[in-house]
């Protein structure tokens, strides 16, 4: 998960604030039932395509772009389905996150709220992961009800935006990539395992809730690292075997690989946070794994890119 700072909370797509969407929120709030909020509004193409663009650091989505999950940063896989996800769940809160005896009908009034909508893969959002989870620091701060629509069908979003004083006062424990700075809460080890940074409680709970350390993710992250080391070693062996006649030739062959490593930092890469970690720890994770006589040479090429 990385910071995504492209959404303007004050300018929702028109579909989310059209009269019928507002009526729907009025009905949901009156009945305290978010399940009546069909996807007609929050799943609209105008919403989805903006979220897809934001997911890869762009303002506008092009059909050729490959979006990614806001949470785990998976992208481009054949079975990857990205859904519009409610950060605060719209029709229930899992009892794990509630005090004993509490029941919560979900944040139904936020079903079509722009700042509450993210893009998530099914593995992050299924019932055994995020589902209806929404942990907060203290049960006493939990908000149960809000009616942001008055009888004249005027929508007041002042208590609905994620950065409103009211919602901030819940102190959520789940990182939101658009509001929080995930880079301050999450880090890795050399095996691709994600872990909380500086003992961040928010980082720890987010990893648990979204299952960000699940095996398929950990294996894919580690493979990115292993593939880079492998590709560089292949070139070094070729130099040892005389296939490159000079170190200059080897340097030229290393350059595209080093550029590829650097490109893993980009927001449109899969697993950007891991890519940032790889680059920030390039010597420990990659260069020191190479045969000693070539380390300085690879370093020179990498830092020269
Ligand atoms: Zn995901």
Average pLDDT of the segment spanning 32-52: 94
Question: How far is residue 289's CA from residue 274's CA, in Å, rounded to a whole number?
Answer: 18
Mean pLDDT for the stretch of residues 69-82 = 92
| Residue 137 C-beta-side C-alpha neighbours within 13 Å | 11
CA–CA distances in Å: residue 213 to residues 10, 106, 113, 220: 34, 27, 29, 11
Give the chain's end-to-end CA distance (angstroms, integer): 26
149 is written with which tokens?
A: 């629509």
Round to whole Å and give the CA distance between 121 and 76: 11
Query: Whole-angstrom Cα distance, residue 67 to residue 82?
Result: 8
Pairing of strands 194-196, 186-188: antiparallel
Under 8 Å between Cβ of 80 and 71: no
**Does the structure show a pLDDT above 90 at 77?**
no
Token pair 């979204």 in the structure block, residue: 210
Q: In the chain, what percentage of residues exceed pLDDT 90?
A: 97
Is residue 30 pLDDT above 90, yes or no? yes
**What tens digit of pLDDT does each residue of 87-114 get?**
999 999 999 999 999 999 999 999 999 9
- 39: confidence class by pLDDT, cuts 50, 70, 90: confident
- Per residue in 207-243, pLDDT tens? 999 999 999 999 999 999 999 999 999 999 999 999 9
pLDDT of residue 285: 98
- Write out the H or E segment, with its range, that includes residue 254: helix 247-263
Q: How far apart are CA 188 and CA 197, in angstroms?
A: 8
3-class DSSP state of 84: strand
Rounded to the nearest whole angstrom, what is the distance from the C-alpha of residue 48 to the centroid of ligand 1?
A: 16
Closest CA to 180 of 6, 2, 58: 2
pLDDT score recorded for residue 79: 83
Question: What local confidence, expressed as pLDDT, does residue 164 receive?
Answer: 98
Closest-CA residue to 83 (of 94, 95, 67): 67
DSSP, res 232: H
How far is the centre of ligand 1, averaged over its atoms, from the C-alpha of 217 (Å)? Answer: 9
Whether pLDDT at 78 is above 80: no
Three-state SS at 43: coil
Q: How far is the CA of 83 from the centre of ligand 1 (A)?
A: 10
Report the separation in Å between the CA atom of 70 and the middle of ligand 1, taken as the mean of its atom positions: 7
- The answer to whether the CB of 247 falls within 8 A of the CB of 297 is yes
276 CA to middle of ligand 1, Å? 18
Distance 156 CA to ligand 1 centre (A): 32
Q: What's the pLDDT band for 169 if we cut at 50, 70, 90?
A: very high
pLDDT of residue 187: 98
User: Quick check: 278 pLDDT over 90?
Assistant: yes
- What is the pLDDT of the chain when averaged over all its residues? 97
- Model pLDDT, residue 34: 93
Compute the average pLDDT of residues 127-132. 95
What percent of the chain is modeled with pLDDT above 70?
Answer: 100
Strand runs labelled E in the chain: 82-86, 117-121, 186-188, 194-196
pLDDT at position 38 over 90:
no
CA of 210 to the centre of ligand 1 (A): 8
pLDDT of residue 100: 95
Range 143-159 average pLDDT: 97
Q: How far is the CA of 130 from the centre of ligand 1 (A)?
A: 10
**Ligand 1 mean position to 125 CA, how many Å?**
7
Per-residue model confidence (pLDDT) at position 4: 98
């Amino acid at each position: 998960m990385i910071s995504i700072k492209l959404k303007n909370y004050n300018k929702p797509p028109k579909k989310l604030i059209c009269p019928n969407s507002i009526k729907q929120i009025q009905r949901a709030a009156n009945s305290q039932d978010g399940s009546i909020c069909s996807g007609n509004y929050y799943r609209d193409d105008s919403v989805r395509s903006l979220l897809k663009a934001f997911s890869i650091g762009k303002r506008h989505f092009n059909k050729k772009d490959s979006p990614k999950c806001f949470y785990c940063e998976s992208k481009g896989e054949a079975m990857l389905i990205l859904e519009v996800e409610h950060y605060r769940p719209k029709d229930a809160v899992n009892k794990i996150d509630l005090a004993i005896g509490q029941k919560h009908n979900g944040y139904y009034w936020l079903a079509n709220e722009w700042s509450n909508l993210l893009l998530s893969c099914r593995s992050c959002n299924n019932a055994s992961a995020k589902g209806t989870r929404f942990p907060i620091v203290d049960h006493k701060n939990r908000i149960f009800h809000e009616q942001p629509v008055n009888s004249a069908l005027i929508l007041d979003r002042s208590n609905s935006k994620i950065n409103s004083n009211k919602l901030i006062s819940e102190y959520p424990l789940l990182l939101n990539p658009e509001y929080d700075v995930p880079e301050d809460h999450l880090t890795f080890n050399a095996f691709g395992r994600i872990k909380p940074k500086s003992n961040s409680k928010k980082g720890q709970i987010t990893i648990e809730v979204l299952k960000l350390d699940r095996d398929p993710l950990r294996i894919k992250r580690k493979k990115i690292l292993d593939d880079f080391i492998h590709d560089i070693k292949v070139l070094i062996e070729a130099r040892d075997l005389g296939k490159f006649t000079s170190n200059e030739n080897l340097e030229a062959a290393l350059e595209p690989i080093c550029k590829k490593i650097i490109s893993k930092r980009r927001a449109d890469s899969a697993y950007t946070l891991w890519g940032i970690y790889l680059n920030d720890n390039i010597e420990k994770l990659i260069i020191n794994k190479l045969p000693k006589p070539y380390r300085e040479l690879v370093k020179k090429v990498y830092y020269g890119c």
